[in-house]
Amino acid sequence: MMLRRSAPTDMLEIAVVFLCIALFAVSVWLGLKKGIKRLSDINVGLAFGLLVFILLAGPTAFLLKASLNSLGILADNFLRMNFWTDPFTESGFVESWTIFYWAWWIAFAPYVGLFVTRISKGRTLRQMITGMLIWGSLGSWLFYMIMGNYGLFLELTGKVDFTGIMSSQNGNAAIVAMLETLPFALGVMSIALVKTLRSDHALKVG
Please provide residue 122's backbone torsions phi and psi, each rounded to the nearest 5 degrees.
Answer: 90, -5
Q: Give SS3 for 50.
A: helix
Given a cut of 50, whether residue 186 has pLDDT beyond it is yes
The DSSP symbol for 160 reads B
Whole-model pTM: value is: 0.72
Per-residue pLDDT tens digits for 88-141: 887 888 888 888 888 888 888 887 777 777 777 788 888 888 887 888 888 888
* Greater model confidence, 205 or 9: 9
Rounded Cα distance between 21 and 138, Å, is 30
> Is residue 39 packed enough to be buried (19+ CB in 10 Å), middle (13-18) or exposed (0-12)?
buried
Which residues are 3's β-sheet partners? Answer: 160
Per-residue pLDDT tens digits for 146-165: 989 999 999 999 888 888 88
Rounded Cα distance between 154 and 161, Å, is 8
- Cβ–Cβ contacts within 10 Å for residue 148, how many? 15
Q: Which long-range contacts (CB under 8 A, 24 or more apart) does 152-155 make?
A: 152/66, 153/58, 153/59, 153/62, 153/63, 153/66, 154/178, 154/181
